Amino acid sequence: MSRWFSYPNILWLAPIPIATAFLFLITDRALHQLKANPSQREWLPFTATVAIFWLSFFGIAYSLFPYLIVDRMTVWQAAASTQSLWVIFWGAIVVLPTILAYTLFSYRIFKGKTQPLSYY
């Protein structure tokens, strides 16, 4: 708690809970408006909820850093050996572009071949 409320940190960290509260209000208001008019701004509650999630994640990460297990294990103690991390890195360099290329290829193949959904 002292990390959040000490003088220099509070100036930098105060926007996190303020923005979270603001996003909760936006979500509440948007959901009430969707009841009245369901075809306007359906994306707003989802986007606000995703932003709340990321702000919460950042807050927890800042509060716990450098510990992964509180007062037991730090990030550096939990990390794998350097050689293992290099194998994972080069594996990701090969696999991720392959996945992206296949995804783009499949989207291009099926583009325009579907019909709009109708539920009546």
27 touches 48 (CB < 8 A): yes
Average pLDDT over residues 105-120: 84
CA dihedral of 94, 95, 98, 99, whole degrees rounded to 10: -160
84 touches 92 (CB < 8 A): no
pLDDT of residue 47: 97
Tens-digit pLDDT profile for residues 40-87: 888 999 999 999 999 999 999 988 898 888 888 999 999 999 999 999
CA dist 108 and 106 (Å) reads 5
CA dist 47 and 51 (Å) reads 6
30 touches 41 (CB < 8 A): yes
Q: Residue 60 is encoded by which pair of tokens?
A: 């927890």
Residue where the block lists tokens 């099926």:
110
Tens-digit pLDDT profile for residues 23-44: 999 999 999 999 888 778 889 9
